[in-house]
Amino acid sequence: MLQFRPGATASQIATRLGVSERAARRYVETLREAGVPVESSRGRYGGYRLGRGERLAPVAFTEDEALGLVMAVLEAHPAAVDTEELVGSALTKVIRALPESVGHQAAVLREYAAAAPDHRGEHPDPALMSALVVAVASHRRVQLRYRSEAGNEWEEEAEPWAVVVRHGRWFLLCHSHRVNALRGYRIDRVQAVVQTAQAFTPPEGVDPVAVLEENLGEGWTFPTRVVFEAPLSALSAWIRPPMGRLQEHPRGCLLVGSTNNPTMYAQEWLATIPFAFQVEGGDELRAAVSALASRCAAAVASVGSFRGGLSVSKSDEAQRC
């Protein structure tokens, strides 16, 4: 409006946008904060107009918005510090399009920020991601070619429900017709996507994040069954959905789940929980916990041997395990 109707009043802006005059004036101030020179004049023929010769940028950010955008990009995609990298190149174009007063701080932040690579994060191919997003939005089945972590590869038809970002990784939440079950697939492991003409109706009221979290704790190779000597109210804050389902037990709580990596389950998950537990099921998990307990006991015994021959047979960690 300011570019093509110079002299627009707060009342006219409010009517056009369907807001109050007070809100219209606030929007004008927001433009000024973003570095857009909006001039105003009073009187019968007064109103708002852009500064002489000024053209609005395609997108206008305030300084805080611009800095927040750069920070979010670098947090999610550390490689964007490289201006030659795909996302880094796009970020450069965004910064260049900003008014000088706003873009300068964003450019300085990007130039002098150092972002450590996230070794857990995997970035899917943008073309595959685009194909999946289109299929999700249009409610069309897709033909997928997928490669598992173990290197097994298969093709299947699936109903794509949602795309979910979790801990730096992108997942496709879908109903697999190959196994007739819900699945959460790593999108960086998807090898090919072809949209079909077959439509589907996604379920209503589904929380994609919650459903994916629950799905990631089911259907893995090695079963797990762990009893904790703690009430459900105290333990629930320590249990993440991929670890399994938590329920009450005569001795406290029972955690039932599965895993493809018993060593990780024992070392990174169980060992961090500050309550006594016992592995009731899953021979592989029992072996992993036993190995962890032996390592902890040996570590404490080694320290004791340097203290005048005093040694400790078991550490608190080993006893708890």
Handedness of CA 123, 127, 130, 132 (dihedral sign): negative
Q: What is the DSSP string of 48-93?
A: EEEPTT----SS---HHHHHHHHHHHHHH-GGGGSTTSHHHHHHHH
Per the CB < 8 A criterion, the answer to whether 49 and 39 are in contact is yes
Whole-angstrom distance, CA of residue 88 vs CA of residue 134: 24
CATH number 1.10.150 given to 222-302: no
Tens digit of pLDDT for each residue in 230-285?
A: 999 999 889 888 898 889 999 999 999 999 899 999 999 999 999 999 999 999 99
Tens digit of pLDDT for each residue in 113-153?
A: 877 776 666 778 888 999 999 999 999 999 999 998 778 89
22-31, 38-47, 71-80, 291-300: the lowest-pLDDT one: 38-47
- Residue 41 forms beta bridges with which residues? 47
Tens digit of pLDDT for each residue in 179-221?
A: 999 999 999 999 999 999 999 999 999 899 888 887 877 778 8
Q: What is the DSSP string of 200-268?
A: --PPTT--HHHHHHHHTTSS-SEEEEEEESS-HHHHGGG--GGG-EEEEETTEEEEEEEES-HHHIIII
126-211 has which CATH code? 2.30.30.520
Tens digit of pLDDT for each residue in 73-101?
A: 888 888 888 888 888 899 998 888 887 77
Domain positions in the chain: 10-50, 63-112, 126-211, 222-302
